[in-house]
Structure 1
Amino acid sequence: MTAAKYDVLGIGNAIFDILVQTDEGFLVRHGMTKGGMALIDEERAIAVYQSMGPATEMSGGSAANTIVGLANLGARAAYIGKVRDDQIGRLYTHDIRAAGVTFETKAAADGPATGCSYILVTPDGQRTMNTYLGAAQELTSADIDAAQVAASAFTYLEGYLWDPKNAKEAFVKAAAIAHGAGRQVALTLSDSFCVDRYRDEFLDLMRKGTIDLIFANEAELHSLYQTSDFDTALTQLREDTKLGIVTRSEKGCVVTSTDGVVAVPAFPIDRMVDTTGAGDLFAAGFLFGLVRGAGHENAGRLGALAAAEVIQHIGARPQASLKELAQQNGLPV
């Protein structure tokens, strides 16, 4: 097997994030389910945006956030996602490339506008997302660069890709190319509501070996196995996948594999501001640890460190050097 050109290639919905701090009343008035992600149409997107206060705007998308975190740690990172050739699409492209990520997916010349997620952050730091997929759902298997996938040690996919039909086909194609090249494929389940929509299909991907690594939080794990008992769900996860990583907020994470189960504590923080991107950045740290051959426990510690950095400010992208933070805390980089 040839040496990898990229450590991790992410494939996801390229979404521009518009974040605003608000109160619980805003969610109630707009009929939003706190802490979840709802798919909305363009008309609803305009209505939500017009009623929001001053916002923080930046390129986002679950897998893209992870890939930017990896680049911040010093990994060789690439991304595949679809934007429209419009103002926000050009801003998105510049933003992710400026973060040190290789991004070469051809922008759509026509069709829906670049996707946006309207993210409401309540005083407790919880984020509620309303996502207009727009051009992101125009991603097709033709956008999958086979040479790029084959040259990446890990291909990282987001569960949200399972919503648009064409993206689903791109997802499966990428996994097949990666395995054909002897590489590994990781999936984040993304959201418990996403798991509710596609539970059987996600389990099928895991059990057939289409996916080698699964990232989930507790809510997603419980949704996947339809049980409120954590140990029961964890035991099942261990049977269904080679490597499962479950994040548990302030309780840290649990890593399950054929070697056993490892629990890693959360990283201490001063103040929780915004949970947007916590799981995305955890995945970045963990994958970086795997790429560096640091072992599951150190990978979990790197994930915890990256997640702790991102939840202490608004937005899902790191504002400090994760590499320097890791070095300061004696973690392998």
Structure 2
Amino acid sequence: METKYDVVAIGNAIVDILADATDAFIAEEGMTKGSMQLMFSPEQADALYARMNPGQEVSGGSAANTVAGLAALGGTAGFIGQVATDQLGQVFAHDIRASGVDFTTEARDGEPSTARCLILVTPDGQRTMNTFLGASQFLPASALDEEMIRAGKILYLEGYLWDPEEPRAAMRRAMQVARDAGRRIAFTLSDVFCIDRHGDDFRALIEEGMIDILFANENELKALARTDDLDAAIAHVQPRVEVLTVTRSEKGALAFQGGQRFEVPAEPIDEVVDTTGAGDLFAAGVLYGITRGIPLDRSLVYGAVCAAEVISHIGARPRADLKALIAEKAAA
């Protein structure tokens, strides 16, 4: 079957609500700064929303941010995720399609509402996320567009969506569809809390050869490998996947392929405004390069450029012309 898409992603369909916050507010709310925690009821989400400073609504969701970034680079992408038939669901659907990504998942009637993530951004640009998964956790296998999955060069999955049972089963089905079609599978570990809850599943997928391209940050990789030593974690995981990338915040990123090690520094920017989406856009740049047969060291540069752009403003979707930024970097 001919491929139509560079990447088809499955993830949480979320609308982010971002607001400035102080370190003191984060502490008062009992949150761990820079982490993500789940909220299990709309009442809990509404109560926090009422205590927040004025917010800004921006469509988000980790995998959705990645394919939006890939489309901004000129790639082709599809997205599968569940929204409800409500206002936030309409916002999400409009935004993902307007970014150039195909989105065909039918909206779900009734409760719960479309997922939202209340993001508190401290003066240093760190984001503390509080997520109500809402309708996104009810993505059934029957909602998968299997033809879309078969038409993608790479199936990209986010660890965040592994938490609820129904989408976990859908993602397992999607992985099998992709494998049967001879497609590669990329996976992002998303957050240490995902590994705390589902690390055994993730390790099993890697051992079974179901993950070709793995995205992680330092802490996630160490949690996956059950070690406090980054080099030991890399040595354990790297031989088990085709491509391993490890983001290291201001220290840049590492990648490994075929026994080779590659490294890229973080792109300099004037000010870190909001780190939301940095890893998502890094993945967008890397996947864009991989799907075009670009060497991994250059693909890492694409990822670093995309990550730098998104942390320079509020929101996890690119605002600047990513193609122009990549061209400018190549000419430098």
TM superposition score category, shorter chain reference: over 0.9
Give 3-state SS (helix, strand or coil) of 1:270's partner. Answer: coil
In the alignment, the residues of structure 2 paired with residue 259 and residue 3 of structure 1 have an alpha-carbon distance, to the nearest angstrom, of 31
Question: Are positions 1:122 and 2:102 aligned together?
Answer: no
Gaps of 5+ in 2: none
2:6 match? 7
Cα deviation per residue 1:86-133 (whole Å; 9 max; x = unaligned)? 111011111111111100100001220000000001111111000000
1:298 match? 298
Question: Are positions 1:159 and 2:163 aligned together?
Answer: no
CA displacement at 1:265 relative to structure 2: 1.6
Give 3-state SS (helix, strand or coil) of 1:275's partner. Answer: coil
In the alignment, the residues of structure 2 paired with residue 222 and residue 126 of structure 1 have an alpha-carbon distance, to the nearest angstrom, of 21
Gaps of 5+ in 1: none
Q: CA contact under 8 A between 2:178 and 2:184: conserved in structure 1?
A: yes
CA displacement at 1:147 relative to structure 2: 0.7
1:272 match? 272
CA displacement at 1:245 relative to structure 2: 0.6
In the alignment, the residues of structure 2 paired with residue 289 and residue 242 of structure 1 have an alpha-carbon distance, to the nearest angstrom, of 15
2:143 match? 143
Q: CA contact under 8 A between 2:239 and 2:259: conserved in structure 1?
A: no
In the alignment, the residues of structure 2 paired with residue 247 and residue 263 of structure 1 have an alpha-carbon distance, to the nearest angstrom, of 10
CA displacement at 1:261 relative to structure 2: 1.4
**TM-score, normalisation: structure 1:** 0.97
1:261 match? 261
In the alignment, the residues of structure 2 paired with residue 281 and residue 257 of structure 1 have an alpha-carbon distance, to the nearest angstrom, of 20
Counterparts of residues 36-51 of structure 1 (less than 5 Å): 36-40=35-39, 41-51=41-51
In the alignment, the residues of structure 2 paired with residue 70 and residue 87 of structure 1 have an alpha-carbon distance, to the nearest angstrom, of 26
1:25 match? 24
Give 3-state SS (helix, strand or coil) of 2:330's partner. Answer: coil
Counterparts of residues 173-252 of structure 1 (less than 5 Å): 173-252=173-252
CA displacement at 1:70 relative to structure 2: 0.4
**TM-score, normalisation: structure 2:** 0.97
Deviates further, 188-197 or 261-270: 261-270
Letter in 2 for 1:112: P
Give 3-state SS (helix, strand or coil) of 1:142's partner. Answer: helix
Cα deviation per residue 1:40-74 (whole Å; 9 max; x = unaligned)? 02121011100111111111100000010001000
Letter in 2 for 1:56: Q
- The count of aligned residue pairs is 330
Q: CA contact under 8 A between 2:83 and 2:108: conserved in structure 1?
A: yes
In the alignment, the residues of structure 1 paired with residue 237 and residue 251 of structure 2 have an alpha-carbon distance, to the nearest angstrom, of 19
CA displacement at 1:257 relative to structure 2: 2.0
In the alignment, the residues of structure 1 paired with residue 234 and residue 71 of structure 2 have an alpha-carbon distance, to the nearest angstrom, of 30
Counterparts of residues 94-113 of structure 1 (less than 5 Å): 94-113=94-113
Cα deviation per residue 1:272-296 (whole Å; 9 max; x = unaligned)? 1111000000000000010111111
Cα deviation per residue 1:118-164 (whole Å; 9 max; x = unaligned)? 00011111110000000001101111111110000011000011111
1:90 match? 90
Letter in 2 for 1:77: A
In the alignment, the residues of structure 2 paired with residue 283 and residue 207 of structure 1 have an alpha-carbon distance, to the nearest angstrom, of 22
In the alignment, the residues of structure 1 paired with residue 107 and residue 256 of structure 2 have an alpha-carbon distance, to the nearest angstrom, of 39
In the alignment, the residues of structure 2 paired with residue 316 and residue 86 of structure 1 have an alpha-carbon distance, to the nearest angstrom, of 22
Letter in 1 for 2:329: N
CA displacement at 1:300 relative to structure 2: 0.4
In the alignment, the residues of structure 1 paired with residue 313 and residue 62 of structure 2 have an alpha-carbon distance, to the nearest angstrom, of 17
Letter in 2 for 1:37: M
CA displacement at 1:222 relative to structure 2: 1.3
In the alignment, the residues of structure 2 paired with residue 266 and residue 32 of structure 1 have an alpha-carbon distance, to the nearest angstrom, of 28
Q: CA contact under 8 A between 2:187 and 2:211: conserved in structure 1?
A: yes
CA displacement at 1:241 relative to structure 2: 1.6
In the alignment, the residues of structure 1 paired with residue 262 and residue 98 of structure 2 have an alpha-carbon distance, to the nearest angstrom, of 36
2:170 match? 170
CA displacement at 1:31 relative to structure 2: 1.1
Letter in 2 for 1:25: A
In the alignment, the residues of structure 1 paired with residue 65 and residue 326 of structure 2 have an alpha-carbon distance, to the nearest angstrom, of 18
Divergent runs of 4+, >4 A: none
Letter in 1 for 2:2: A
Deviates further, 156-165 or 252-261: 252-261
